[in-house]
Each structure stands twice: as C-alpha cells, then as structure tokens.
Amino acid sequence: MKKQIEFHLVHDFPNHAFTTPAPSKKTTPDWLKQIPPMNAGTQTVKKCIPFIDAMTSGYMLLNHIDISITLGTDGKVLLHYLDDEHKALISRWPPIETHPSTQVPGSPMEDFTILKYMSPWKIKTPKEYSLLFLPPINRFELPIIPLVGLVDTDSFDNVVNIPFIHTQLHAGGPPVFIARGTPICQIIPIRRDTWSSKTTLLDAYELDKTVESRAAMNTDRTDWYRKKIHNKKEYN
C-alpha cells in the first residue's frame, strides 16, 4: 500500500525560486553516475544493490536558499548577504542558527561549532511512521554532517530543524558558501514496530542452507542478489 509523505512550506518566499525536497534517487552525485559497472574485471559499487538502495532511499532535504557564513575568532557565526533581495529574505527568515555546545558536554561534538539549519518545511508522515534524519548516505565528499535524529513526524506538529557540523568552517577562516540545492540531510520513513531480539547457534540444517545459498550466489556474483533477493523500493 502506497504511503505519502507531505512537505508543507511554512514560510512565504515572494518571487523566490527555492529548492524543494526531492526523492533521494533524483539527487545522486555525478561521481556515482560516472563509475562504470566493472573496473579491471571487478564489480564496482555501481552494481552493488544494497549500496545503491541506501543512497536512493527516502528523500533529500535540500538547502532552499544560498547561504554564506563566516566563523569569527570570538565563536560568533555571521551571515553574509549576496544582494538586497537576498538580504531581505535572510533577514526575514534566517536559515542558520547556532546550537550551543553546552548541550553536548563531553561528547565528540563539543569542540565543533554546531550550526542549525532552519528548515522552511513541516513534514508529515502517515500514522505509525517516524522519520530518520541522517547524513546523505555514502556522500563523504559533502562537508555538511548533520546530527542524526529520529522524529515521530506523524504527531510532531512543527518544523524539524537540522543541527549540523560544517567541516570547512573554521574560526577566522574564509567564508563558507552553501549553495541552494546542497543536500542537508537524507530522510527515511521508519515504521514504529515493536521488536525483540534472539541469539542462537545455527543448527546443521540452517548451516547447510547458508552454505548452499553462498554457493548459489557464487554462480552469478554480478546479478544473483538483484534477481533472487532484491525488493524494489519506491520513493516519488
């Protein structure tokens, strides 16, 4: 049964062409598109279904407006205006705030400047579905690293803002530019089920099945998973 996620714009941007959230499959990077399926006789990640499934799952929250910021030696973040229209929009709806380090004492994030992307979108999911907000999967080239959160967006009647670390932002350093359309975080719907765990030692029968499965996979290492295991996921 098809489910629907809803993105509701909560700010008015008159005469402004901003970027909306998009299915992750529409935001795959150029480097992935350029990787060949095979390289030197070896299958690449281009043929790895779990790798591709992860990168194309859910939706991508994209930066809705150009952002230019610097970090002063005093630790203050300064937003820069590109022109008068940009100044008016930024002044009315600041897209960036800071996340106090006092909220993460003793954590690995304590020595970083934690920014907060002020999203213009309220996101709603069907009953019993939450959203996992996480860094764009396998996108190690991106300098934006959001802190992961799981939000019950079926009942949370507000905007989810995204705390993140920008790896290129340094005190007293040059401005950092976050272009409109830059991926901020990946969003994956998660159904809230009740789980239990079980740990066992495989008996001989189950072990034989595992060995047989491995042997079958070795007969077609390129397409066995796609043909025998994979279930298509759809996010539109």
Whether 211 maps to a domain, the answer reads no
Whether 154 maps to a domain, the answer reads yes
Average pLDDT rounded to a whole number, residues 215-234: 81
Report, in this order, helix, strand and coil percent for the chain, each rounded to 5: 20, 30, 50
Range of the domain at 11: 6-197
Average pLDDT rounded to a whole number, residues 158-181: 96
Average pLDDT rounded to a whole number, residues 200-225: 80
Average pLDDT rounded to a whole number, residues 85-99: 90
Q: Higher confidence at residue 13 or residue 115?
A: 115
DSSP string covering 177-219, please? EE-TT-EEEEEEEEE------------HHHHHHHHHHHHHHHT
Whether 230 maps to a domain, the answer reads no
For residues 162 and 81, what is the distance between their CA atoms, to the nearest angstrom? Answer: 22
pLDDT band at 61 (very low <50, low <70, confident <90, very high): very high
Q: Is the dihedral of CA 37, 40, 45, 48 positive or negative?
A: positive
Structure tokens at 105: 């004492």
Whether 224 maps to a domain, the answer reads no
CB 121 within 8 A of CB 9: yes
Task: Provide the number of structural domains found in the chain.
Answer: 1
CATH number of the domain where residue 19 is located: 2.70.40.10
* Other beta carbons less than 10 A from residue 201's beta carbon: 6
Q: Is pLDDT above 70 for 16? A: no
CB 31 within 8 A of CB 145: no
Whether 91 maps to a domain, the answer reads yes
Tell me what pLDDT residue 17 has: 67
Q: What is the CA radius of gyration of the chain?
A: 22
> Nearest 5°: phi and psi at 213?
-65, -40
Average pLDDT rounded to a whole number, residues 22-27: 97
